[in-house]
Structure 1
Amino acid sequence: MYDTILVATDGSEPANRATDRAIDLASTFDADLHAIYSVDTRRYGSSVMGESSDVVADLETRGDELLSDIATRASVDVTEALRRGRPHEEIGSYADEIDADLIVLGNRGLGSGGEIGSTAERVVRYVDRPVMTA
């Protein structure tokens, strides 16, 4: 049913649930599992902080740690992708590159309240692939 699954993470609890679900699905269907983390410097606006090499390096380090954690937790091999850009665009672009059969992500991220988060909503609306939120 699924040959290639993409899981997106930001380190939030919903992303961790999504990761668990993606790992289970990849194991069940013997699918390739890819994990993506997008460094979104736009969230800092056009200020110098958004392009500061120290800030970007810290965000990339955090992304590497999160991706490594997924690889460690998984019972299948994981291909890790660290990108820079708007998360929903990077998720969609990478999903196209790997021809993902399914995208799995948290229904809200680090900054969201009780409703669906903006990244999850944008992926569901604009990415032309099946999406599962957790």
Structure 2
Amino acid sequence: MESILLATDGSEYARVAAERAIDIAAEEGARLHVICVVDERRFNEPALSSAELATIFAEDHAHMCVADVREMAEDTGVEVEGTTRHGLPQDVILDYADEVDADIIVIGEHGSHEEHFSGVGRRVTEQADREVIIVEVAPQP
């Protein structure tokens, strides 16, 4: 295995998925690619309005999500490359998986996207031509 793609949105679920992806990458000696998608259904390109501020915030959040995963992997020896993109999350994730030739895609079971990342994860799983790992978070007592 050479390449793993982690889709993150900064949620608790995505953080658990990041831990799993880092562990797999460390075990396999694989490069970890991280993507955070600014959902175009909620945030379009900036315009001179209050939507501009929301879009800028979403972009900043996406960059922080990628940086957080880099920081999590810092002491593991895992090489992390990350990006943020605009679009429909499942489409962008699948396109990026093709771009980096990911062997597997790792995604959290829920997240902060409007339809929950589980909906995105389900769509990615249905449409992917590679293995997809949906990382579940155990319920807190």
- Say whether 1:69 aligns with 2:68: yes
Match of 2:35 in 1: 36
Work out the number of aligned pairs and report it: 130
TM-score of the superposition, structure 1-length normalised? Answer: 0.87
Unaligned 5+ residue runs, structure 1? none
Q: What is the DSSP-based 3-state SS (H/G/I as helix, E as strand, rest coil) of the residue aligned with 2:56?
A: helix
- Equivalent-residue separation in structure 1 for 2:97 and 2:23 (angstroms): 19
1:43 counterpart SS class: coil
Calculate the aligned-residue CA RMSD, in Å.
Answer: 2.5
**SS at 1:34 equivalent:** strand
* Aligned match of 1:78: 80
* Map of 1:106 onto structure 2: 108
| Offset of residue 52 of structure 1 | 2.8
| Aligned equivalents of 1:102, 1:111: Cα separation in 2 | 22
CA distance in 1, matches of 2:130, 2:114: 23
Distance in 1 (CA, whole Å) between partners of 2:9 and 2:88 is 12
TM-score by length of 2: 0.83
- Any residues of structure 2 matched to 1:1-134 within 5 Å, and which? 2-43=1-42, 52-74=51-73, 75=76, 76-110=78-112, 117-134=118-135
Deviation above 2 Å: which 4+ runs of structure 1?
Answer: 110-113
Q: Which has the higher helix share?
A: 1
1:41–1:56 Cα contact (<8 Å) kept: no
CA deviations over 1:42-74 (Å, ceiling 9, x no partner): 0369xx89x932221110100111110100110
Where structure 2 has 5 or more consecutive residues not aligned to the other structure, the ranges are: 136-141
Q: CA deviation at 1:26?
A: 0.5
